[in-house]
Amino acid sequence: MKNYLITVVGATAIGKTALSIKLAQHFNTEIISSDSRQFYKEMNIGTAVPSPEELKAAKHHFIQNRSIFDNYSVGQFEKDALQKLNTLFLKNNSVIMVGGSGLYTNAVINGLDFFPKVDPEIRTKLTSKLENEGILTLQNKLKELDPESFSALEIENPHRLIRALEICIGTGKKYSTFKNKPKAPRNFIPIKIGLFADRAIMYNRINQRVDIMMEHGLLDEVKKLHPHKNLNALQTVGYKELFDYLDGKYPLDFAIEEIKKNTRRFAKRQVTWNKKDQTINWFDFKSETDEIISKIENLMSSPTKTPN
């Protein structure tokens, strides 16, 4: 019997969690989260972790299973997720995966790219430049050295930005040239479901979600994490802006608007990333779940079609 990994992708706040739960219930299976922001138990409101009711509605894996003090890489996640999939496929030939982190999702489906080792002093210098000159300097440098990676990466994430730059500088080649090489085969067939909405609608949903997060206590959550603000796990939208507010860099109202703006930018990069994948089956975010299920079952059953 063939195994299927049904993956739900799309921009933040588009409705991926709700759809993934409905799919898990229909196929009587479990959910793997590939959202790198939701791995950490200390982060809850700002990462839009599924609610207790949602977690009860379908069993989830890789939700708040790590600490912000852990050094957890995409490579380790790939290994952990594949191991979990092997266990889940013993019970059911289909599993749901959902998340907004394209790099982590792609690692599970296709495998990671190999990058050569480079002089660690390069990372030290880039980190110093980040601290002294700000992230914009590094973003402009990546745009100059590797426009392809600049367009595809989460350039607001300093860890990934520095990783791309150290490869460019250390090898003299573009970071993007090391990507998309042949990988080890998987024991499942991926079926990718994408949700989309008009940009205005998507941005409005993002703005509303940020307001709801603030109402639900995001600022208090960030205050507790403030002493650890330099950890990699906390270098993410929704936390960085409020750290700056707590540090007196700007007023709270401005910080909230910055969260909305940077989340919209993040969503735009998610859309750009997903548009490059021709194997995604796209649906309007208002589509009936039955329509999506019908498409999935058709891909599973049709011998003339290769599921995407």
The per-residue pLDDT for range 221-242, each reduced to its tens digit, is 999 999 999 998 999 999 999 9
Quick: pLDDT tens for 71-123: 898 989 999 999 999 999 999 999 999 988 888 999 999 998 888 889 999 99
Q: Are residues 161 and 221 in the same domain?
A: no
Number of domains comprising the chain: 2
What pLDDT band is residue 304 in, cutting at 50, 70 and 90?
Answer: very low
For residues 125-140, average pLDDT: 94
The answer to whether residue 308 sits within a structural domain is no
Are the C-beta atoms of 206 and 128 separated by less than 8 Å? no
Closest by CA to 222, choosing from 207, 237, 206, is 237
pLDDT for the residue numbered 5 = 98
- In angstroms, the CA 91 to CA 84 distance is 12
The answer to whether residue 236 sits within a structural domain is yes
- In angstroms, the CA 102 to CA 307 distance is 19
Dig out the tokens for 143 from the structure: 């745009």
Sheet holding 94-98, edge to edge: 60-61, 31-33, 94-98, 4-10, 189-196, 280-284
Q: Are residues 151 and 231 in the same domain?
A: no
> In CATH, what number is assigned to the domain containing residue 162?
1.10.20.140
Asked if pLDDT for residue 246 goes beyond 50, the answer is: yes
Q: Are residues 100 and 132 in the same domain?
A: no
The answer to whether residue 307 sits within a structural domain is no
Are the C-beta atoms of 8 and 97 separated by less than 8 Å? yes
Asked if pLDDT for residue 6 goes beyond 70, the answer is: yes
Dig out the tokens for 89 from the structure: 């496929």
Q: Are residues 82 and 195 in the same domain?
A: yes
pLDDT for the residue numbered 36 = 94
pLDDT for the residue numbered 303 = 57
Q: Are residues 190 and 86 in the same domain?
A: yes
Q: Are residues 49 and 90 in the same domain?
A: yes
Asked if pLDDT for residue 248 goes beyond 50, the answer is: yes
The answer to whether residue 82 sits within a structural domain is yes
Q: Are residues 284 and 147 in the same domain?
A: no
- In angstroms, the CA 287 to CA 195 distance is 9
Quick: pLDDT tens for 146-166: 999 998 887 888 888 999 999
- In angstroms, the CA 182 to CA 111 distance is 9
H or E element at residue 195: strand 189-196
Q: Can you name the residues that pair with 281 across neighbouring β-strands?
A: 193
The answer to whether residue 275 sits within a structural domain is yes
Domain that holds residue 160: 120-178
- Cα–Cα distances in angstroms (integers) from residue 60 to residues 8, 19, 94, 133, in the given order: 14, 13, 14, 41
Are the C-beta atoms of 256 and 209 separated by less than 8 Å? no
- Give the residue from 158, 178, 198 where a domain finishes: 178
Place of tokens 């660690």: 120
**Helix (H, G, I), strand (E, B), or coil: what is residue 95?**
strand
- In angstroms, the CA 12 to CA 152 distance is 16
Q: Are residues 41 and 67 in the same domain?
A: yes
